[in-house]
Amino acid sequence: MRVENPAAFSFIMQDDLYLLNKEKAVFEAPAKPLTAVEPVFQPAIETVTVKFNYLGGYKKDFLVIVHYPDVEFMPERHLMALESTLKRLEISLDDTAVLNRSAHPEASFDQLTGFFKPRKLLILGNNALPPRIVKIEQNKLQQLNNCPALFTFSFDEMMDSNENKKTFWEQMKQW
């Protein structure tokens, strides 16, 4: 007969059982008398769902990250320039999500990509770079988390520089 739980022997066999010395350590009585144990309730770990306020409909999973501390999303002049650029690529503002990182300074790159799951990513300016982002080269289309990404000049840097505009447009055309 094979019994997996030694306590079951007391129900099957009425006789005394003797343990070998090497087995006694496993079955020795505890040093303290057993008392009723009160259940310990651990506080529930809440997963915090991060929500982001963004402009656009995000229909084509195109995330644009900007940094403007003085406005909710983008200044009107810069927004018009972005819309004009996107329109030339047959993309509307309704296809994108424009996220102003100054409203979410603590949001890491992983949080942003986890929430949005972008298929395209455009980062406009050094200040728009999220914390803990992998090293990314400026003005070069590259892959980040299996997503084409472009880190380029901010519109402040582009508005007065035709060279910066040209560099930006050359990279945008590759999408």
Q: What is the DSSP letter of 107?
A: -
The reported pLDDT for the residue numbered 146 is 87
Spans of all domains in the chain: 54-172
What superfamily would CATH give domain 54-172?
Answer: Uracil-DNA glycosylase-like domain (3.40.470.10)
Contacts of 120 (CB under 8 A, 6+ apart): 60, 61, 62, 63, 147, 148, 149, 175
The reported pLDDT for the residue numbered 78 is 96
Task: Summarize pLDDT for 129-166 with one digit per residue, the tens.
Answer: 999 898 899 999 999 988 999 999 999 999 999 999 99
Task: Summarize pLDDT for 103-123 with one digit per residue, the tens.
Answer: 999 999 999 999 999 999 999
Q: Does the reported pTM lie above 0.75?
A: no
Neighbours of 112 (CB within 10 A): 23
CA atoms within 13 A on the CB side of 84: 9
Sign for the CA dihedral angle at 49, 50, 51, 55 comes to negative
Burial of 48 (0-12, 13-18, 19+ CB in 10 A): exposed
Mean pLDDT over residues 70-82, rounded?
Answer: 96
pLDDT of 95 higher than 70: yes
